[in-house]
Amino acid sequence: MAIVVKLDDMLHDRRMTLTELADRIGMTLANLSILKTGKARAIRFSTLEAICDALTCQPGDILKHDASKEAVK
């Protein structure tokens, strides 16, 4: 997939666990884990906004376009 999720890097930089983030934004740990591992096929803007609020970051800090990766169909 050409979109790379850098959530793990942001969590490390903020010294926050995935469990703590899930609690802060009211999302299940399982769904957040799917996003973190890059297996999610979509993300709601409200979810992205909640993650950005909790991590004090911008969407571009979490999502990156990597043209060298082939899109999965």
Whole-number Å distance between alpha carbons of 67 and 73 = 15
Q: In this structure, which amino acid lies at residue 51?
A: I
Tens-place pLDDT, residues 14-72: 999 999 999 999 999 999 999 999 899 999 999 999 999 999 999 999 999 988 876 55
Q: How many CB atoms lie within 10 A of CB 8?
A: 13
Q: pTM of the prediction?
A: 0.86
CATH architecture observed for domain 3-65: Orthogonal Bundle (1.10)
Predicted local confidence at residue 62, as pLDDT: 95
Predicted local confidence at residue 50, as pLDDT: 97
Which residue's structure tokens are 């769904």? 31
Domain boundaries, the chain: 3-65
